[in-house]
Structure 1
């Protein structure tokens, strides 16, 4: 009987890669599905509802601040120390809870903040700041 010699071609064994690829794709799907998405931080706007009707008049108090810091309420110049009294007298005559502060872009921020604080102190609930 003759013996066969093993050749190098017979020694080359091949590995089936299909099961390994299946596992990799299953793991990929698992990680995609279980990833927790981070909620982005930011400011949320309080939007009014579509069918919301207000029983209060929507006339807002208008306060203008010029570039030099001069404050005007209802087209008359007001001293910064008398804003609370002027707003309270305005509220006695008008039924509103909103004020719009229109400030020049070069106005000092401290003046605008002081006017906002005094408006809140006088009883204004909603204060809006607008910049020219």
Structure 2
């Protein structure tokens, strides 16, 4: 058996460092994974943009007798025919209105400062009351 002598040149050319190629492959794969999964993530929710208050006069006409107006005030209170009602009573009022006028629409008059959650709950109660012809009208007054 012959002993092999290592020279300085062989030691410098040998595997004395860390091979970075596998680490770079791993990082590239992670980057590709996160890019692909980020594209498919969809946010749930709705985008709500309320119309300008100037459109209220066009939608809320005083001569419309077959329309039920449900007002949502800035502090979150709800009123029908200028009577403050409980959020749970919206459905009963809408059902009574729907029994009298089956084709009558319901207009939810929402104040600009009213909480969006309350407006959505009122619209859900109107739909549960059997009326599917629901419109939203803005109101900037303290109605």
TM-score category by the smaller chain?
0.5 to 0.7
RCO higher in structure (CA 8 A, sep ≥6): 2
Partners of 1:60 and 1:96 within 8 A in 2: no
Aligned positions, number: 76
Q: Which runs of 5+ in 2 are unaligned?
A: 1-63
Residue 70 (1) aligns with residue 70 (2)? no
RMSD: 1.8
**TM-score w.r.t. structure 1 length?**
0.53
- The alpha carbon displacement at 1:92 in A equals 2.1
- The one of 118, 121, 125 equivalent to 1:114 is 121
Residue 102 (1) aligns with residue 109 (2)? yes
**TM-score w.r.t. structure 2 length?**
0.49
Write out per-residue CA displacement over residues 51-78 of structure 1, whole angstroms, 9 at most, x where no aligned residue: xxxxxx9721111111111111122111
Q: Which runs of 4+ in 1 moved over 6 A?
A: none
| Structure with greater helix share of residues | 2
Distance 1:82 1:64 in 2: 13
Higher Rg: 1
Q: Which runs of 5+ in 1 are unaligned?
A: 1-56
